[in-house]
Amino acid sequence: MRFGDALSPENKLRYIRERLVPGAIFHCDCEFTNPPKPKFIVVGRAQPPTIVFLINSDISTWHQARPHLRDCQVGIRKGDHDFLAHDSFLDCTQAERRVSLEQLEQAMLKDVTSFKGWLTAREREAVLYAVGVCRTLSTQEKGWLAEALSPQE
């Protein structure tokens, strides 16, 4: 029996909604990638419009050749996240909006183990910095992400 199977429908929904917040990491099918495939994603903003970032195994050659894009790749260490096969990179140059909170919720209803964990405080700080200096994000996206990812008092 899987973890989610032991939860009542109400507790399962509560468990899911407590995790659909900025800084949460999920593994889910991404229909918007080319080709579509399962990816690790990080919730950047949970309210509409929902924004997620992709975690990649490497920094692409294209990004590496452009320092202003390369500098917006945040290192995600396997040592901090046991679900990763190796150190990876969170691409903060693309605020992906083609995933809704409802889609993430539905994916978790099917398999609550799609939730993998949280960004560390160091990673969250690095994401905030990368978002702030990123030239490919709009001023509006930067504001939304700064508000969503900043430490709450």
Whether the predicted pLDDT of 151 surpasses 70 = yes
Whether the predicted pLDDT of 142 surpasses 90 = yes
Give 33-44 pLDDT, tens digit per residue.
889 999 999 999
Q: Interior CA angle at 61 toward 30 and 119, to 5°?
A: 50
Assess whether the previous peptide bond of 67 is cis (omega < 30° from 0): no
Give 53-110 pLDDT, tens digit per residue.
999 999 999 999 999 999 999 999 999 999 999 999 999 999 999 988 888 898 888 8
Parse the chain into domains and list their residue ranges: 3-149
Cβ contacts of 119 within 8 Å, gap of 6 or more? 23, 25, 42, 76, 127
| pLDDT tier for residue 5 given thresholds of 50, 70 and 90 | low
Whether the predicted pLDDT of 1 surpasses 70 = no
- Specify which residues 117 forms β-bridges with: 25
What is the mean pLDDT of the segment spanning 9-23? 90
Give 94-138 pLDDT, tens digit per residue.
999 998 888 889 888 888 899 999 999 999 999 999 999 999 999
Reported pTM? 0.92
Residue 46: how many CB atoms within 10 A of its CB? 18
- Specify which residues 123 forms β-bridges with: none
Report which of 131, 113, 136 is spatially closest to residue 22, judged by C-alpha positions: 131
- SS3 state of residue 31: coil
| CATH code assigned to 3-149 | 2.30.30.110
